[in-house]
Amino acid sequence: MTDPTPSYSSVLLQRHGAVPAGGQDTGVAAHYGDPVPEQRALARGRAVVDQSQRGVVTVSGADRLSWLTTLSSQVLTGLQPGQSSETLFLSVQGRVEFAPHVLDDGTTTWLLTEAAEAPALTAWLESMRFALRVEVEDVSAHWAALAATRDLTEPLDAALAGDGGVGRVLVWRDPWPEVTAGGHAYATTHEHPGADRPWYEHLVPLHELETAVAALESEGLVLAGAWAAEALRIEAWRPRWGVETDEKTIPHELDWMRTAVHLAKGCYKGQETVARVHNLGHPPRRLTFLDLDGSQHTLPEAGAAVELGGRTVGRITAAQLHHEAGPVALAVLKRSVDPAADLTVRDVVRDAPQGGDGIEEPAVPEQWAAAQSVVVPPEAGSVVGRAQGLLRGPRGGRSG
């Protein structure tokens, strides 16, 4: 992975009360002074999130969709203009290297990525072009993403059409948590919490970011920060590249088989591992959702240890205060961890603060009691010969 700290700084950080975010969201606001009300407004469809720090890569040319299909875990051939999908580009060992959101407009395929993904993904795609009719370009410096829990195409179109006739705003609709065509769901719940989080990412010209946001504010929407978006994502069990993933991640561990992998497609890099683990083995780790003890009014940081009986069994990937559920987190655990076990989260020990006399104070790690909601069960995978009904298998559905 590349350096996750971009030099970009959104113009919306100049808004009164804006507090800069860190990590994957460096360059935009964590919040604008009222994180919980902002989150509540976002959940109700009354807010928009500045995600202009995100990367955008375009692939144009007549062979673009068939070419991307041969390289990735998803079938993109036949993707219709305006239709959304997502895909994974894997290593030979089946580990997740890139996880772009995919949208086609009829002439160009748009890959919406994290900021750190875009340069490396562009370089890798360029190296795979050979003689095919495709052109790859990193256009992150020219486009901004605005996210919301409802489609804002109509007011954005109206706001931007005056600028030389920009045309219809491109919008990516998150397929999560649908089981798309060729996919497979490991989560066994019948009422997936992700169904309560529709998600739309709108692409607008970066130089029109302020104009677009002002138009939405005139419609009664408010700005919400990255913390609000993360809280809703965590509650929806939605994996995110660079947050839930590391250099060892395979799709099965995060329930990514439901939206990003087509199990019946042709050969691609990493397919052997995907098929072997799904059919005959088990993923070595599993994503879980944690309800955290809220009595301390604090949250663990990414990387905090998850313990069972004093033994580290996993790591926190993301934690936020949800406006209804309280403090929540996603964690990646060893597969063998009992799904019914009560866990303890212990924060990583950071540099201790210094007192006024310059003497280093002792660090006191915090801990939180944590209750699991299983996202990927320990028995995930090994579907060959399995009795039907234990895990949901591939079924027809929308691919975007």
pLDDT digits 0-9 by tens, 354-392: 444 455 556 668 999 999 999 999 999 999 866 554 444
Which 3-state string (H, E, C) describes 258-294? HCCCCCCCCCCCCHHHHHHHHHCCCCCEEEEEEEECC
Indicate whether this model's pTM tops 0.85: yes
234, 321 Cβ separation under 8 angstroms: no
pLDDT for 386 equals 62
pLDDT for 48 equals 98
What domains appear along the chain, each with residue ranges and CATH number? 11-235 (3.30.1360.120), 284-374 (2.40.30.110)
What is the C-alpha separation between 36 and 17, in angstroms, rounded? 14
pLDDT for 395 equals 34
208, 158 Cβ separation under 8 angstroms: no
pLDDT digits 0-9 by tens, 163-204: 544 567 999 999 999 999 999 999 888 899 999 999 999 999
Q: Both tokens of residue 301?
A: 């940081």
pLDDT for 51 equals 98
pLDDT for 130 equals 85
What is the C-alpha separation between 35 and 47, in angstroms, rounded? 12
Residue bearing tokens 């995060």: 254
pLDDT for 132 equals 84
pLDDT for 175 equals 98
pLDDT along the chain (400 residues), means of 10: 65 97 97 98 98 98 96 96 97 98 97 98 95 93 98 94 66 97 91 96 97 97 98 98 98 98 94 96 98 91 96 98 97 97 83 48 81 96 68 38
pLDDT for 167 equals 60
pLDDT for 360 equals 56
Residue bearing tokens 């928009």: 48
Measured at the CA of 113, the angle between CA 138 and CA 43, to 5 degrees, comes to 140
What is the C-alpha separation between 231 and 369, in angstroms, rounded? 19
Residues 6+ apart with CB under 8 A from 364: none
Residue bearing tokens 């395929």: 109
What is the C-alpha separation between 5 and 316, in angstroms, rounded? 20
pLDDT for 363 equals 64
361, 353 Cβ separation under 8 angstroms: yes
